[in-house]
Amino acid sequence: MYIGETERLEFRYNYSHATKEGHLLKSRARVNDIRYNRLTGEEGEVSYVINLPNGGEGYIVGNVIEKAVVSSNPYVISFGEEGLESADNQLFVINNSVYNRYDRTILLRNASDQPAVVLNNLLGGATMTFADGPHESDGNLALPEHGMRSPRNFEFELIDTAAAIDSGIAVSEYGDEDLLVPSAEYAHPVSRRDRNLVHRLDVGAQEFCAY
């Protein structure tokens, strides 16, 4: 999916998957609010999963993401690599669940000078490099399966023994909680459900609520 130059993109509750070439989502919008989607490469040959080539404001929050076995480059998320077009460039990558099947994956490429804020993400599957470019990170978990029910079968809900449960950190020091704290979850196919906070915020895109 490709979005050209525009003021704002709100991308929610979508299922973008298995493209034969190119990116699952590319946007040149000045503000990109990307929440509660399933972005999975599956049997395709995906380049970037999310590509924001001109920077701007980016909020990547609460998405279920898979980097497939076949890919034309190692990055999951790329920000600003074609040149920054906005005076304000800031990327937030928060409470996503990322499952990796590719052998040379790098979660984030940040071509801006402003550190990306990367918090409370679950990183599972094959080992991946965290970031290329300036970033601040906290509260992320990197485990081979990271407590998901069956990510190889695209079942990303947490099981009751997951280390991610109640392990999320507070994000208020990094910005507006209304923008940075997930309030919903992706529900397959192409739907949503409320994210019901139980005790403390869980790491990743889905809260453990015995679904």
Per-residue CA distances from 181 to 95, 110, 143, 167, 202 (Å): 8, 22, 22, 14, 11
List, for residues 98-154, the tens digit of each pLDDT value. 999 999 999 999 999 999 999 999 999 999 999 999 999 999 999 876 799 998 888
List, for residues 170-188, the tens digit of each pLDDT value. 999 999 999 999 999 999 9
Angle among Cα 12, 108, 119 to the nearest 5 degrees reads: 70
